[in-house]
Structure 1
Amino acid sequence: MLSVTKDNAYETVRRILDTSRPVVKCWAGSQLFIATSRPSDVEKMLTNFLSKSSFYENINDVMKDTLPTSKVDVWKKHRKMISPSFNLKIVNSFHDVFVKYSKEIVQFLNDVEVCEQVNLVSVFWEQTFDAALGKVVTFR
């Protein structure tokens, strides 16, 4: 019996891959999870098995049909269009923006009272859009 928590999941899978075999299958209820340490397997899975798991269906209410939760045919079309925007030079040019907005989120979360209820989805969406548009953020 293997006990895996969200805190030790990565380390557990990594240890199993390092000590036993290059591909590991694990069932959690009716959900199959596959991990591999071979880049060729990762490439094969990403190009041949693109359908999303039920996890994505569950978070679609929050994500509202965005690229990570869209159907495979929609994802492929849009991913092809935006791929050039994610080259390393362009992504690195946003480093200061990422740092600035990350610090603002951390500061906001530090300021939240212990029993205060906060809609984190709204906070993260606002931060994401403001960072993309270069706006100044105010939470309250």
Structure 2
Amino acid sequence: MSRGLAFTPEVIQQWNELHFEYCPPNGESKRMVQKRTLAYLEPIIEQAKNQSLRENREISISIFTHENLIQSILQYYLQSNPKYAWLIQQNNTAINEILLNEHGISAVKINDDNHLRFLISEMQNESLDNYDYEQINS
């Protein structure tokens, strides 16, 4: 089925009105995805907290996932309005860091893609080098 057939005006209206609760046919709503994810993630976080207390050190948990899921996780832990979870910008390969400790939850990094800066400058330089070479030899 093409996007044009799937995203009818009625579907788009429902999606806009029920964004976090909207469930496409044979699919999951963002709320359902969030609930399923947290059911998996919460025991891991609890285990890390216990280990942190036992060993008196910080424990890190890394999650590698796609935009919709990370938006749902961030929305939950940062306690923002689910209706606006889609506003949490996520670039490809962005790093998000949230700190969970005895003082509560805080956002350390959101949508940080600084690790790509050196790649972008190298790619731009390569493009310029190739452009110069092509211009000289034409």
TM-score (norm 2): 0.22
Larger radius of gyration: 2
TM-score (norm 1): 0.22
For CA contacts below 8 A with separation 6 or more, give which structure has more relative contact order: 2
